[in-house]
Structures are given as structure tokens and as C-alpha cells.
Amino acid sequence: MKVAFYPGCVSKGGCPELYPATVKICEKLGIELDELEGASCTGSGVLQEKDRLLGDVLNARTFAMAEQKNLPIMTICSTCQGVMAQANKRLTDPDHPEYLEEVNTFLKDEGLEYKGTTVIKHILWILVEDFGVEQVKSSFVRKLNDLKLAPFYGCYIVRPSWALDFEDNPDRQQSLEMLIEAVGATVVDFEGKTRCCGFPILTINEKNSVSMVAKHTSTVQELGADAMVTPCPLCHLNLDGYQPKARKQSGISIHMPILHLPQLIGLALGFSPADMGLERHIISTDAITKALKESNPV
Amino acid sequence: MKVKLDVGRFNPESEGDKSFRQEFDLEVEEYYTVLDALMQVRDYEDPSLAMRCSCRASICGSCAMKINGTSGLGCNTKIVDVIKKDGTVKVDPAGNLPVVKDLVVDMEPFWSKVREIKPFLQTKGPEPQDEYIAPQQAMLDLVKPVGCIMCGACVSDCTVLEVDSNFIGPAALAKASRFIDDPRDEMNAERFAQLNQYTGVWDCTRCMACVEVCPKGVAPMDRIMTIRDQIINAGIKNTNGARHAEGFASIVKRYGTLDETQLVIKTFGVLNPIVALKNIKALFGLLPVAYRALRKNKLPPVFHHKIAGVSYIKNIFKKLGA
């Protein structure tokens, strides 16, 4: 399978371990990556606050680039996925074809035109839908039976539902749990899995943002989770990077490693924790490494 | 069809502070709503079950509750749409509000926040002789926020209220938007000043929970984002929130992608001594975070690269006046 790869800003910025981990697992799984080098930021919902049209034009530009390659876009960030999905719904609204025409007028100078055919999928959905859990599983060489893992989706991959095609793809709402089970781990289910990590208000109301980190990480710790797994690097930044502050603010002794989804898949594919960049996490992942040593081959 | 209704119950008179769960096995019709099923319980199984309901047609806004963990109206949620594989539907009182008994919550914190934004038209000049004339389009734009039935579903699912009860919340902010956008109201400056403060529009996380659960399509978060932009356009830019929004746009305009380091500098106003001084505590708080990231080789690159074709991005911004 070949995809137009949209890595997003954070996988090369604040979460530099995510990009190489993704490239490695894609190579092993047979996902050929054609990176969209000239693509811009999606706007992350922030640009859209100021000007929705501006955000839609920037995203249409990216969609047009993928369309020229005749490839679906693969994202590795819940926020990128959600913002792009919302933009694509507006751009392809059959009741308002004039909107796409208007947006295309801003792309003309660059010789681009978006026709409205690009499909945008997070790697989470590609693994569950395009590959299928059984096929992904067949590539695994390690069974992570000893691990108890809590899913944490990130807001924009679960809301708003009008943009995410859940009716046609009902597995999307359980996709993370399906992959956690596929690696042989036990799912630690909790209501907070679809709530907010607090990242968007980190620099605006840090206390509230950190309270969200404390709430989610301490809840799953109490439920016996060894780690959380997220398809969103922004959630990772907050849940991992601000956990020490959450510990201090809440007075709860929290220690909850946070795994990027590609890292989890990579560990099951046989990559070492170092290959997956686990040593770059703020919260030590030693418990995961230990569990790996005791894990069974498939 | 058979359904097991799993109800979160609480009765301070007989059970003290303890909430408990109770299951009811019901035979219901396919067209039943969750509210129909609850009324069947109350009428035939347990008359002590406390709940609010009136119109049964998504108009009165009385029966907001949590259904399988997500807020919504009992009266417009069909059982067949929410029944789980094991045949159960889980029902709980609305979140983020104190529970009085079973599914009845105390709405006073909700109403006091709505009252806080002065939910009525306020004018400044002399009253017109006949009537206030408003352009039709302006009133059409208000259709969505006016459609709010004050059910509290958005408040119940708000992720900020889960950690900070001081946040004014999505319902009150959507109501504020209804008056800000009303051409007859002349208190925008006062409203912006109020909503620009802590507990106001900048505390929203943009998680979309309120958009998802609103039974009337009010989309409170969209209204909150509109107010944010109106506040910035009114020249009120003295918050980290406003600096974050403007800084984000300027970085994407210049580079095509986001540079997190520059965004932090712009948000905290590091290059402006007065702003930086205000944020001094937060800036010092960043030091251990940055130190930990540095130790783990996790800091973003020092020099952020421009993407190919960034001049086109700049042009798009320019053409849109951004």
C-alpha cells in the first residue's frame, strides 16, 4: 500500500521519536510512504478560530498535492486527522459545490486545483480498515501478554462525528482497543479515553490543563494500567511531558508511561525500545522494557 | 424487544451519600426512547425513581442525562440506537452538576452562570419611537444560538468543567454570543471585557464535546471561537489566548508549519518585558519542562525550516487579509 504521508509538525518537533518510529513500522508492514514535503500545517483548529476559510484553503492545498499523486493521505496525529477531515467535508459538501470553487481560486497561483477526491486516514484507521487486524497481527513477532494498556484517542479523532464517517466505519470508535488486543495486551477501559488531554490550553490555563493530565493518568493507574497508548502526539506531549507537574499539582504519585501508537505496533513487530525511541520519553518506560524481555514470541 | 436499563441512582434520604446502580429488565417497543423506558420504570417498577421530563419532544430541555457515558436528551435518544451488544443501556444523571436525587441534578450552578453573562438585550442610546429594527440576515445568523433550549447537555459533557467548576461553560458562552451578535445589543465592549477574563472564552479546550452532544445544533464551541476572534478584532489582545492565536497564524504564514518554540515565546510575550513579567511564574515553570526535554533529546529543532512553496502560503494569507 502506498500513501501520501502527512507527518504533521509535532512528529518532527516536540515528539521527535514519533517520526522515525512511524517510518520504521511502515517499512516493515509494507506501507510505502511518499511524504508530502510541501504541505503546510492543518491549522490545528487554531487558525480556524480566526478564519475557517483560511484553514480550508491551506488544507485543500495539501489535499490537491495528494490528489496529484493519486494517493490517500496518511496522518499520524488525531488533531491533524480531525481538522483535515472537517475541512474535507466542507470542501466536498454536495450541497455547496461553490465553496470548493471559491477555495480553488486561492490555489490557482501555485497551479493547484483540488477536485475533492482525496481520502484522509490516520494510521490507526489504515491498520484496522485497510490492513485488517488479522493481517497486522500476522506481522507480529512478539506477544505483549503481560501489558495492561489504556487507550487514549485524542479529541479530534472522535469528535465531531459528522466529519469522521463512523456510520460507514463503525470499527473506528474501537480501533485503538482492537490494536491493543491485537498485540496481545489487555485493554484497560476507562471513560476518560475520549476526553481532552488538556494540551490546547497548556499555555493559557496551565492549572486546568495539568489537572486533566492528572485526572486521566491517575485514573488508569488506579485501574492497573502499565501504560497508555495514544494516536495523538499532542496528547503525548501533555500526558508525558507534564506528568511531573501533574504529580506535583495533584499530590498523587503518578507514574504512567505514554506510548505513541506506532511505538506499540513497533514493539510487537520486534523492534527494540531504542528503535522506537522510548528512551526519549519524559516518563520512564522501563516497565515496558521489562515486560518485553519477559514477552513471548508469537 | 428486551432491554436492561442500568440506572445510576442516588437517594440522600435513604442511602446517605452513597450512589448505587440498579438494573431494570424491561420489555419495550422498538420506537421507545430512553425517556420512555425510564417512565416505564417509574410507572410500573419503581415509583421512587426521580427524573425530570415534560414535553417529550426536545423542546423543554428537562431530560438531559448521560446515556452510555455521553450526554443527551432522554426524549430524543432511541433505545435501538444506543443499546449495547449485551442488551444494556447505561443511564446516569447529567455531569458537572450536583446530583439531587437519581437523575435529577441541581441546575442552579447552570443558571447562575447564564445570569452572569446578562442574558438580555441592553442598549445605550435613547429608545426608538416605534421599534428596534434589525436586518433580517442578522437575525437569521442568530437562529442557531437562539435555538438553545438550556438543557445543559453541553455543560454535562464539558471537559473543562470536569476539572474547574469556575469555567463559565459552553451554555452561558453560547448565550453570550447570541447577544453579542444581535445588532440591537450595544454592550459588546462590556461583554468582551468580561469574557476575556479567566473563566471566560480562552479557557475552552476546543474539545468539541459540547458540539457533539448539543441536541439543537447550537455548536457552543463554534460560538466560543467566534467570540475569541471578535475579542481580538476589537483590539483586546492582552491574554495568552489572543497571543497564542495570533502567534500561531504568524508562524504558519512565515514557515508553512508550526514551530512550537516560537509559539511559546509569542504566547508568553517573552519579547515584551511587560507581558513577560506578567508571565514570569509560568516562564520559570517552563524551565524544568525544558530541562527534562533537553535531557531526553526531545526539544524541537532550534532552527525551524520553511516548507517548499512557502511563498504561496504567504500569498494565501495575504489575499485573505490574515
Q: Do B257 and A9 touch (CB under 8 A)?
A: yes
CATH number of A133-297: 3.40.50.11810
| Strand ordering across the sheet containing A186-187 | A186-187, A148-151, A227-230, A258-260
Band of pLDDT at residue A285, cut at 50, 70 and 90: very high
Please tell me which residue of chain A has the smallest CA distance to B283: A203
Q: Would you state the pLDDT for residue B258?
A: 94
Q: Which residue has the cell 504521508?
A: A5
Please tell me which residue of chain B has the smallest CA distance to A41: B257
d(C-alpha B243, C-alpha B221), whole Å:
19
B229, B249, B292 ranked by CB distance to A282: nearest? B292
Query: Are residues B88 and B28 located together in one domain of the fold?
Result: yes
Band of pLDDT at residue A298, cut at 50, 70 and 90: confident
Query: Are residues B160 and B178 located together in one domain of the fold?
Result: yes
Band of pLDDT at residue B127, cut at 50, 70 and 90: confident
SS3 B78: strand
Report the b/e string of A178-215 with b at 16+ CB within 10 A.
bbbebbbbbbbebebbbbbbbbbbbbbbbebbbbbbbb
Residue B143's Cβ-side half-sphere holds a number of Cα atoms within 13 Å equal to 5
Tens of pLDDT, residues A59-116: 999 999 999 999 999 999 999 999 999 999 999 999 999 999 999 999 999 999 999 9
Share of chain A above pLDDT 70, in %: 100
Tens of pLDDT, residues A195-213: 999 999 999 999 999 999 9
The type of residue at B171 is A
A5, A33 contact by CB (below 8 A): yes
Going from N- to C-terminal start, the domains of chain A cover 2-122, 133-297
A51, A203, A280 ranked by CB distance to B296: nearest? A280
Tens of pLDDT, residues B28-66: 999 999 999 999 999 999 999 999 999 999 999 999 999
Give the count of domains, chain B.
Answer: 3
Q: Would you state the pLDDT for residue B182?
A: 95
- State which of B105, B135, B165 marks the end of a domain: B105
Interface residue of A6, A9, A59 to substitute, partner B, most B CBs within 10 Å: A9
Q: Which cell is B292 given?
A: 527534562
Tens of pLDDT, residues A211-266: 999 999 999 999 999 999 999 999 999 999 999 999 999 999 999 999 999 999 99
Does the pLDDT of residue B302 top 90, yes or no? no
> Across chain A, what does the average pLDDT equal?
96
Q: Do A50 and B260 touch (CB under 8 A)?
A: no
Please tell me which residue of chain A has the smallest CA distance to B279: A203
Chains A and B form CB pairs within 8 A to the count of 172
Band of pLDDT at residue B133, cut at 50, 70 and 90: confident
Tens of pLDDT, residues B197-250: 999 999 999 999 999 999 999 999 999 999 999 999 999 999 999 999 999 999
Closest to A8 measured CA to CA, from A64, A68, A82: A82
Q: Would you state the pLDDT for residue B14?
A: 78
Q: Do A109 and B209 touch (CB under 8 A)?
A: no
Interface residue of A89, A196, A202, A286 to substitute, partner B, most B CBs within 10 Å: A196
Q: Would you state the pLDDT for residue B301?
A: 80
Q: How far B129 CA sits from the closest chain A CA (Å)?
A: 38
Q: Would you state the pLDDT for residue A50?
A: 83
Q: How far B319 CA sits from the closest chain A CA (Å)?
A: 8
Q: How far A88 CA sits from the closest chain B CA (Å)?
A: 18
* Contacts with A8 (C-beta within 8 Å, 6 or more apart), sequence order: A41, A42, A75, A76, A77, A79, A80, A233
Interface residue of A201, A239, A286 to substitute, partner B, most B CBs within 10 Å: A201
Please tell me which residue of chain A has the smallest CA distance to B300: A13
Host domain of residue B195 = 108-233
Query: Are residues B247 and B218 located together in one domain of the fold?
Result: no
Share of chain B above pLDDT 70, in %: 100
Band of pLDDT at residue A294, cut at 50, 70 and 90: confident
Query: Are residues B112 and B228 located together in one domain of the fold?
Result: yes
Interface residue of B67, B162, B195, B208 to substitute, partner A, most A CBs within 10 Å: B208
Q: Do A280 and B69 touch (CB under 8 A)?
A: no
Q: Say which CATH topology domain A2-122 has.
A: Glutathione S-transferase Yfyf (Class Pi); Chain A, domain 2 (1.20.1050)
Q: How far A189 CA sits from the closest chain B CA (Å)?
A: 13
Query: Are residues B100 and B112 located together in one domain of the fold?
Result: no
Query: Are residues B113 and B226 located together in one domain of the fold?
Result: yes
What residues of chain A lie within 8 A of the CB of B256, using their CB?
Answer: 38, 40-41
Q: Which CATH number characterizes residue B56's domain?
A: 3.10.20.30
Q: Do A245 and B167 touch (CB under 8 A)?
A: no
Global confidence as pTM: 0.95
B205, B246, B292 ranked by CB distance to A201: nearest? B205
Q: Do A44 and B300 touch (CB under 8 A)?
A: no
Closest to B111 measured CA to CA, from B75, B79, B155: B155
B209, B258, B298 ranked by CB distance to A280: nearest? B298
Tens of pLDDT, residues B76-115: 999 999 998 889 999 999 999 999 999 999 999 999 999 9
A15, A45, A53 ranked by CB distance to B320: nearest? A53
Kindly provide the ipTM of the predicted complex, given to two decimals: 0.95
- State which of B182, B217, B233 marks the end of a domain: B233
Q: Do A16 and B298 touch (CB under 8 A)?
A: yes
What residues of chain A lie within 8 A of the CB of B293, using their CB?
Answer: 14, 241, 282
A16, A49, A159 ranked by CB distance to B212: nearest? A159
* Position with higher pLDDT, A79 vs A297: A79
Q: Which cell is A233 given?
A: 502526539
The type of residue at A273 is P
Q: Which CATH number characterizes residue B125's domain?
A: 1.10.1060.10
d(C-alpha B104, C-alpha B65), whole Å:
9
Q: Which cell is B217 given?
A: 445544533
Q: Would you state the pLDDT for residue A190?
A: 96
Query: Are residues B9 and B64 located together in one domain of the fold?
Result: yes
Same fold flag, A2-122 and A133-297: no
